[in-house]
Amino acid sequence: GAVVSQHPSRVICKSGTSVKIECRSLDFQATTMFWYRQFPKQSLMLMATSNEGSKATYEQGVEKDKFLINHASLTLSTLTVTSAHPEDSSFYICSASRTGNTEAFFGQGTRLTVV
Amino acid sequence: GENVEQHPSTLSVQEGDSAVIKCTYSDSASNYFPWYKQELGKGPQLIIDIRSNVGEKKDQRIAVTLNKTAKHFSLHITETQPEDSAVYFCAAKGDTGGFKTIFGAGTRLFVKA
C-alpha cells in the first residue's frame, strides 16, 4: 500500500502559540488530502478537504482562520493550528488519495497537547 | 446528510473464534466501502475495501460482504488472534460531495487469548 507520513507524532505547545503539522505522501502523488480530528474513543471527524493548488474546503463548524491548511504540492499538505488553546488538544490525522475517488491512506496521527 | 451506522460498538471474542462487524449506510450514491483498523495512538490502517460492483471480497482471514440493495456491508474476521484486538471503522464514499469518506462510530474488538 501507499505510505503517508505525518509529522510530528506528538507535540506540546503553550496557549497562544501556533503549531504546524505536516502530511506527506511518500510514494505517490496525492491530488486530494483530508484532515481529521479524533477525540478519545470516538470516530474520525472530517475537518477539511484539500486539493492540490486549491483552497481547502472546510466542514461546517470548523474555523478556517484557526485551522490553516496548505496543499501546495502533490506530496505535502500542512495543517497549522493558530493561537492554540487547551480545547484544541486532540489527535489530528491526515489522509491522502491519488484522486478524490480512490482509496485513502492515513498518516500516523499527531497528538497535540496545548498547555 | 450521509450517515454510516456501525454495530456493535464493542465486541469480545475468544481467540480462534470469528468476529463480525456490520454497517449500514444512507447515501445510495456511495460506491466505495473501506475498512480500517486503528491501534491505540496510531492512524487508521486500510485492511480491506470493496466497491459497489462486487458482492464479496476476501483476503486471508478477512472478508467483506456488500448488499447494495439493503445498503449493508459487513467485515468478517476468522480465526481471530490477540493481535487483531483494535478499533475497526467502516466507511462509505461516493463520487460526489467532495469525495468525503463517512466513517462509522467504530467497533472496539477484544480477542481473548
Tell me the per-residue pLDDT of B2-37, one tens digit each, with 9 for 90 and over: 789 999 999 999 999 999 999 999 988 889 999 999
A-to-B residue pairs, Cβ atoms closer than 8 angstroms: 54
Rounded to a whole number, what is the largest CA-CA distance in chain B? 44
Partner residue facing A101 (CB), from B43, B99, B103: B99
Q: Are A106 and A26 in contact (CB under 8 A)?
A: no
Residue A107 with chain B: CB contacts under 8 Å: 43
Question: pLDDT tens, B67-81?
Answer: 999 999 999 999 999
Q: Is B19 left (phi over 0), alpha (psi -120 to 50) or beta?
A: beta
Average pLDDT, stretch B99-108? Answer: 91
* B96 DSSP assignment: S
Question: pLDDT tens, A12-29?
Answer: 999 999 999 999 999 999
Cβ separation A97–B100 shorter than 8 A: no
Instruction: Judge residue A66's burial from the number of C-beta atoms within 10 Å of its C-beta, 0-12 exposed, 13-18 middle, 19 or more buried.
Output: middle
Cβ separation B101–A43 shorter than 8 A: no
**Residue A6: its pLDDT value, please?**
97
Cβ separation A6–B44 shorter than 8 A: no
- Torsions phi, psi of B29, nearest 5? -80, -10
Mean pLDDT of chain B: 93
**Gap between the Cα atoms of A86 and A108, Å rounded:** 22
Q: Are B90 and B5 in contact (CB under 8 A)?
A: no
Cβ separation B99–A1 shorter than 8 A: no
**Gap between the Cα atoms of B92 and B82, Å rounded:** 27
**Gap between the Cα atoms of A37 and B36, Å rounded:** 16
